[in-house]
Amino acid sequence: MKTILVTGGAGFIGSNFVLGEKSRETRVVNLDLLTYAGNLLNLQERDGDPDHVFAKGDIGDRPFVRKLLDDNRPDAVINFAAESHVDRSIDSPESFIQTNIVGTYHLLEETLAFWKNLPADRKDRFRFLHVSTDEVYGSLGPAGPAFTENTPYAPNSPYAASKAASDHLVRAYHHTFGLPAIITNCSNNYGPRQFPEKLTPLMILNAIEGKPLPVYGDGLNIRDWLYVEDHCEALRMVLEKGKPGETYNIGGCCEKTNIEIVNTLCSLLDEMAPESPYSPHSSLVTFVNDRLGHDRRYAVDCSRIGRELGWRAKETFESGLRKTIRWYLDNTQWVQSVRSGAYRDWIARQYGVADANALQTAPDCSANKLQSASRSQGL
């Protein structure tokens, strides 16, 4: 049975990947520090599964990582562990530098030492897969060609800069030391188990609770959208067929403006939650001051992974969004568990809601039981 060490496997993308490995005869060793966005509820489906081993720890804790590698002898390491929210990186960049850059360095060092001591046949099969973002490429104009694997890096936020630095480290460890590393750069993910600071879960939860739907600036910033399970399947293909030293872009070929996303989501909620007292949910849309340094457009050319590895996204945006909304409507306990005081306070600061307590989740999460947040500063 193949063994994979997954870092950040209690987070959004990582947990979806770990759950998908359940039927693949893979033993998963799951390393996660369980910061605010990591949640063991994401992994409930693997409770009691002998082929899923959870270890609470930091990728920067080298003795701990070394012991995990030595004890479990993985065939691959997949690095999802990262601070990932642009707004938080603007508010406090240091944790992004420590986790995304320094943490990746420590993980690379320990993985390299482990890999060097493997028998020759296992050494040839071993892979280090580093999961990154399209934000490292910077911002596109309205008519600019989509990012390819050869697009020069031009990160514009502390988050993007920290991920770009980690990509460069991974590439250097392959080129200099021979570590069989592969990098993937993905577009915006959406789907179940995403922490509700990101656009789609924030809008879903605010809408069903009658709270404002804060849209930055004019709402015309464009992103390419990728359903998380499609992303996870692409990562499996890269792990199995990808060439060490290479980069693969993963995208949904689905460019949408932020306001298109919100309006589509509202229309689906009108249909899927007809009992909601807040329909039409689009009436809750509120434009707020734009994010500092907000990149205007991302677009991903993922033709390489399709051509070389045979991957393509299965979900359309509407089918993926419909599945996402249904998951949040059906998993109110999960929603309550992730809305800690720290999360509420951060949302209050970010979007100008004066009363942080107004963002608390009530014991009953049904739409008709929840009160709308107080409005201030145009929210």
Q: Is 218 exposed, middle or buried (0-12, 13-18, 19+ CB in 10 A)?
A: exposed
Q: What is the distance between the alpha carbons of residues 174 and 123, in angstroms, rounded to a whole number?
A: 13
* Coil, strand or helix at 71: helix
75, 134, 224, 230: which is the annotated catalytic residue?
134
Task: Say whether 135 is catalytic.
Answer: yes
Q: Which of 21, 58, 87, 159 is catalytic?
A: 159
Q: For the chain, where are the alpha helices, taking DSSP H only?
A: 12-20, 62-72, 86-91, 94-96, 104-116, 120-125, 158-177, 199-208, 228-241, 258-272, 303-309, 317-330, 332-338, 341-351
260 catalytic per annotation? no
- Report DSSP letters for 149-210, one per residue: TTSPP---SHHHHHHHHHHHHHHHHHHHH---EEEEEE-EEESTT--TTSHHHHHHHHHHTT
Q: Is residue 256 classed as helix, strand or coil in its secondary structure?
A: strand
Q: How far apart are CA 188 and CA 255, in angstroms?
A: 10
- Clarify whether 159 is annotated catalytic: yes
Q: Which residue in 135, 209, 295, 315 is the catalytic one?
A: 135
CA triple 144-222-17, angle to 5 deg: 110
Residues tagged active-site? 134-135, 159
